[in-house]
């Protein structure tokens, strides 16, 4: 879920002699900088962020882990993860002059989410045979990249109005930035065993964003981890993508397979995908800390297109035009219609294997047969696999009818 088109400020970061002068002035004005940091938090709350911290940008301790992860090939075909090497762990090389990161988080659970939301999500995951589509919670509303970028830009503008021009650059899941490492370094939470950021008061159902700045603001301390002996996220993973605490093989992760992966989904991982057709929330749903997950304060993350209760057959029937129109402004649109059909074909194959309803099975077969002649070989391959999932006891003349 990486968008590598990172917008830059119209004001370039200061560096060299000008930056040294800024550091010198700031060192004698720490009360003023502390006041600026406090005001940044207040402005952030007004813009919909539920917490903002200031982090030092020295991530030297994370470099070896990043290089080892890449060396193992765990990033799969996310080539951009390796393209910048250790620069991902060196924000000051990415944006010269950077000395601090303003790290922010924004919750995305819709405001209408009830207290039993985790139970409801697990029930949906169990409804494979009923044809229910499971779409990651974060993707049911508006594209978070656009929302957070806009809000972070507004925050940066407010800072500039208060203190004058300064060097900065806004990021939201974009460019080579180690977001979780920066956020945990600034005390926004700790890295959970599933590798996501966790917070005792807010769980993990939030987006992260950063503003790299040339202001030596006072930094916030890191917080202690509170996962303890819990390993629920590891045990629940449908594809065993979490190899051990803090080590994820993205090539097995359903979020990677349904969003980032461009080719055929490995056959061994198709059945475990169940009805997860875009993303996967299992490791977050099972996490005890998410009973404290915050609700979104912005309507942008309200559910669109009924994606919290969608039917796979109906979604599979969308033409490319419908896909683009219905999902305009949605993060899902980024994967394109071809991969959307690929993912749904896998879900429908699993539903065909699981359903005990003859009418449901017939509807699934008809939907799949309608795509057998699709222009894309990728789609055709997954449709053929899906049709082959029908149990032999139901196979026969009627089962083969389109």
- What average pLDDT does the structure give for the chain? 89
| 197 bridge partner residues | 191
| 91 bridge partner residues | none
SS3 92: helix
- pLDDT exceeds 80 at position 398: no
Any domain includes 23: no
Of 58, 46, 109, 127, nearest to 291 by C-alpha is 109
CA torsion through residues 236, 224, 148, 4, sign:
negative
- Residue 6 confidence (pLDDT): 28
Once rounded to an integer, what is the mean pLDDT over residues 181-207? Answer: 97
Any domain includes 87: yes
Calpha distance 136→260 (Å, rounded):
14
Any domain includes 401: no
- Angle at 79 (CA atoms; ends 99, 383), nearest 5 degrees: 135
Token pair recorded at residue 201: 């008061």
Any domain includes 269: yes
Q: What's the Cα-to-Cα distance from 357 to each of 101, 313, 368, rounded to whole Å?
A: 54, 14, 17
Going by their DSSP bridges, the two strands 51-56 and 100-107 should be labelled as antiparallel
| Inter-axis angle of helices 30-46 and 16-27, nearest 10 | 100
Domain holding 265, by residue range, is 31-388
pTM (two decimals)? 0.88
- pLDDT-derived band at 42, boundaries 50, 70, 90: very high
Binding residues for [4Fe-4S] cluster: 227, 230, 233, 237, 253, 280, 283, 287
- pLDDT exceeds 70 at position 37: yes
Any domain includes 369: yes
Q: What is the pLDDT of residues 123-142, one digit of tens each?
A: 999 999 999 999 999 999 99
Once rounded to an integer, what is the mean pLDDT over residues 345-361? Answer: 98
- pLDDT exceeds 80 at position 265: yes
Calpha distance 231→234 (Å, rounded):
5
- Residue 72 confidence (pLDDT): 87
Q: How many residues does the chain have?
A: 402
Any domain includes 394: no
Token pair recorded at residue 175: 């460019």
- Residue 66 confidence (pLDDT): 84
- pLDDT-derived band at 401, boundaries 50, 70, 90: very low
- pLDDT-derived band at 74, boundaries 50, 70, 90: confident
Of 356, 318, 314, 357, nearest to 337 by C-alpha is 318
**Ramachandran region of residue 306, left (φ > 0), alpha (ψ -120 to 50) or beta?**
left
CA torsion through residues 91, 244, 190, 106, sign:
positive
Q: What is the pLDDT of residues 298-345, one digit of tens each?
A: 999 999 999 999 999 999 999 999 999 999 999 999 999 999 999 999
Of 79, 356, 57, nearest to 214 by C-alpha is 57
- pLDDT-derived band at 395, boundaries 50, 70, 90: low
- Residue 14 confidence (pLDDT): 29
Q: What is the pLDDT of residues 206-245, one digit of tens each?
A: 999 999 999 999 999 999 999 999 999 999 999 999 999 9
Any domain includes 344: yes
Q: Is 173 annotated in the active site?
A: yes
Any domain includes 15: no
Element housing 247 (H / E): strand 247-248
Contact criterion met (CB below 8 Å) for 351 and 275? yes
Q: In what order do the strands lie in the sheet with 100-107?
A: 51-56, 100-107, 206-213, 168-171
Contact criterion met (CB below 8 Å) for 345 and 383? yes
- Residue 23 confidence (pLDDT): 39
Count of structural domains within the chain:
1
CB burial of residue 376 (10 Å; 0-12, 13-18, 19+): middle
Q: What's the Cα-to-Cα distance from 235 to each of 18, 81, 402, rounded to whole Å?
A: 52, 26, 40
Count the neighbouring beta carbons within 10 Å of the beta carbon of residue 84: 16
Dmax (CA) for the chain in angstroms is 84
Binding residues for cob(II)alamin: 88, 173, 197, 208, 255, 280-281
Once rounded to an integer, what is the mean pLDDT over residues 387-396? Answer: 75
Q: Which of 173, 214, 249, 300 is an active site residue?
A: 173
């Amino acid at each position: 879920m990486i968008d590598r088109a990172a917008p830059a400020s119209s004001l370039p970061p200061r560096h060299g002699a000008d930056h040294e002068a800024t550091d010198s002035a700031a060192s004698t004005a720490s009360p003023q900088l502390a006041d600026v940091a406090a005001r940044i938090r207040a402005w952030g709350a007004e813009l919909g962020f539920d917490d903002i911290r200031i982090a030092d940008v020295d991530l030297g301790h994370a470099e070896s882990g990043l290089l080892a992860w890449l060396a193992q090939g765990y990033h799969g075909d996310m080539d951009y993860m390796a393209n910048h090497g250790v620069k991902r762990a060196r924000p000051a090389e990415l944006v010269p002059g950077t000395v601090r990161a303003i790290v922010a988080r924004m919750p995305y659970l819709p405001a209408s989410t009830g207290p039993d939301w985790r139970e409801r999500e697990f029930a949906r995951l169990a409804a494979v045979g009923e044809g229910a589509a499971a779409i990651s919670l974060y993707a049911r509303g508006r594209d978070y990249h656009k929302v957070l970028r806009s809000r972070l830009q507004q925050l940066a503008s407010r800072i500039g109005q208060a203190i004058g021009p300064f060097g900065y650059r806004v990021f939201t899941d974009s460019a080579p930035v180690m977001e979780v490492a920066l956020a945990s370094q600034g005390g926004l939470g700790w890295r959970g065993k599933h590798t996501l950021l966790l917070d005792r008061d807010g769980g993990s159902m939030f987006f992260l964003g950063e503003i790299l700045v040339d202001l030596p603001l006072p930094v916030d301390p890191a917080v202690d981890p509170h996962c303890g002996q819990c390993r629920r996220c590891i045990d629940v993973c449908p594809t065993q993508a979490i190899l051990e605490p803090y080590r994820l093989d993205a090539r097995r992760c359903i979020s990677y397979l349904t969003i980032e992966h461009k080719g055929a989904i490995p056959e061994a991982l198709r059945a475990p995908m169940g009805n997860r057709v875009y993303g996967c929330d299992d490791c977050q749903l099972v996490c005890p800390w998410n009973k404290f997950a915050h609700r979104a304060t912005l309507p942008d993350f309200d559910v669109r297109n009924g994606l919290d209760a969608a039917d796979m057959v109906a979604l599979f029937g969308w033409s490319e035009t419908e896909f683009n129109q219905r999902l305009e402004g949605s993060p899902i649109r980024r994967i394109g219609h071809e991969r959307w059909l690929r993912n749904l074909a896998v879900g429908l194959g699993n539903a065909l294997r699981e359903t005990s309803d003859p009418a449901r099975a017939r509807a699934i077969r008809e939907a799949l047969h309608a795509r057998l002649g699709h222009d894309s070989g990728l789609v055709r391959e997954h449709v053929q696999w899906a049709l082959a999932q029908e149990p032999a006891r139901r196979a026969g003349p009627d089962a083969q009818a389109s």
